[in-house]
A and B are shown apart, each in its own frame.
Chain A
Amino acid sequence: MAKRVGIEVSLAIAEMAKLANVDVVAAYPITPQTHIVEHLAQLVANGELDAAYIPVESEHSAMSACLGASAVGARTFTATAGQGLELMHEVLYVASSMQLPVVMTVANRALSAPLSVWGDHSDVMSVRDTGWIQIFTENGQEVVDNLLCAFRIAEDPEVLLPVMIHLDGFHLSHMIEPLFLPQPSEVEQFIPPNRYPFPLNPGKPVTMGAFAPPIIYSETKKAQQANLEASKAVILHCWEDFGHHFKRYYSPVESYLSEGARVLLLTMGSFSETAMAAIDKMRQEGKDVGLLKLRLWRPFPFKEIRQAVKNADVLIILDRALSFGGPGGPVCSEIRSALYHEQNRPKVISFVGGLGGRDITVAGFEYIVNRGIQISQTGSEQEFEIFGVRE
């Protein structure tokens, strides 16, 4: 029987890494992820987790050390946020293109300048194209559940891709929540041991990271794309199996009170919780609204998005990041693009909000929905609106 404990989400992440029996942790502190690496250090120091804890000297080296560890077949884990994710940017591309199954939790944080340690999705959006499997979570249970799944998905011989679990910095990382943590036996049953097929080993020498002249580079990228697309089947199967074992179910796009709704709001991350409260309130007032929660960010769930919005007239998307000089809300622009060829598609309205840790209340979401409906009727000069900014 699973235990329910009141625990800070960051610490729960560390506990989950312990339950998953990770072999190598590359650790570099950055707000708001520090509690994760601190707790992992304590677990190792107490002998509760038998892992190599590498206190690296930067995030670039953190991800680089993960490459090395993963390449010899070790189960590898790290955590970062904001600027740290930026510093390891080039290494992220290498992890995915070299197919090294590293697992990383990112406590989403706003990007400098100005310096902000508080949460938003600008760091997530800057790594869209890195080829990692990326999953959004909205509460502590979702974080630990998907972290468990992440190890299994990443190391699956049909996948062998690195996985990022996104959680909102502070809003989620520092929350103390009552969580179900699995028993070690349940974890052992759910995650098979890491059997990387070509570990660096003198008994069977391989060369990793050969360079590709133009004649062959395109083929390597096609292979990478095909691989990431194919991982979706493994992700879905993993979630199905997870639901079977633990009775909590996950899917690429989740909905809340959206049946028959003509107006849909779409959020990612912890704002989904507040948005649900807003939807409850508006439903009670007789409004025809529902909520969609994007969970699987990469590989992008084209099919599920199209299915979820096919009966809606208006789709209002709240992004927590701003693509300057461009479409404004990055997720919105991707969804709009995904719906472009559909026969029946809703009007897609873009809002950007919650930047740098700014909160959005239930009333805020009500405003966004109403304003979104208004824009869908009257149109707007702007490509998007920033919610709550003082003009």
Chain B
Amino acid sequence: MTKPESELTWKDLEIGSIVTEPGNASQYQTGDWRSQRPTLNHDRCVKCGICSIFCPEGCIEQNADGYFEANLFYCKGCGICARECWTQAITMMEEEE
């Protein structure tokens, strides 16, 4: 885990401020950006995976049963998956909070 930037001293920085931990931005939660979330109708889902292809976040993953579900830690609620789903299995619902 990387120290939060407000705690880093100049000595903590790597040479040339290089970041040596690949992909460590995956700690950052973008899921709290959204105002709507995708919900999946399992009866309609044909497990084609086109939603996972079109997700700009790359956060739609296939679960153990083969259904493609958005990882809500990252999902920004753009609605592309719902729009592009061929069987209209995904519906965008308002976030309650």
Contacts and interface: CB of A to CB of B under 8 A. Distances in A.
Contact of B15 (A198, A215, A216, A219): A198
Contacts of A212: 17
Contacts of B17: 97-98, 210, 212, 220, 223
B25 to A, nearest CB: 9
A226 interface: yes
Interface in B40-76: none
A206 B22 contact: yes
Contacts of B10: 219-220, 222-223, 226
Interface residues of B, number: 16
A360 B18 CA distance: 47
B19 A97 contact: no
B5 A206 contact: no
A213 B17 CA distance: 13
A186 to B, nearest CB: 29
A226 B15 CA distance: 12
B52 to A, nearest CB: 24
Nearest to A197: B15
Contact of A208 (B6, B12, B16): B16
A160 interface: yes
Contacts of A213: 5
Given A206-B22, A216-B5, A219-B8, A100 B16 contact: yes
B5 A208 contact: no
A206 B9 contact: no
Contacts of A223: 10-11, 13, 17
A272 interface: no
B96 interface: no
B8 to A, nearest CB: 6
Nearest to A96: B16
A189 interface: no
Nearest to B4: A215
B23 to A, nearest CB: 8
A99 interface: yes
A205 interface: yes
Given A219-B13, A220-B13, A223-B13, A198 B18 contact: yes
Contacts of A160: 15-16
B4 to A, nearest CB: 9
B97 interface: no
Nearest to A207: B19
B22 A207 contact: yes
A207 B15 contact: no
A238 to B, nearest CB: 19
Pairs of residues from A and B, 7 with the lowest C-beta to C-beta distance, nearest first: A99-B16, A219-B10, A207-B19, A222-B10, A98-B16, A205-B22, A223-B10
Given A220-B13, A223-B11, 8 more contacts: A197-B15, A198-B18, A207-B18, A207-B19, A208-B19, A215-B6, A219-B10, A219-B13
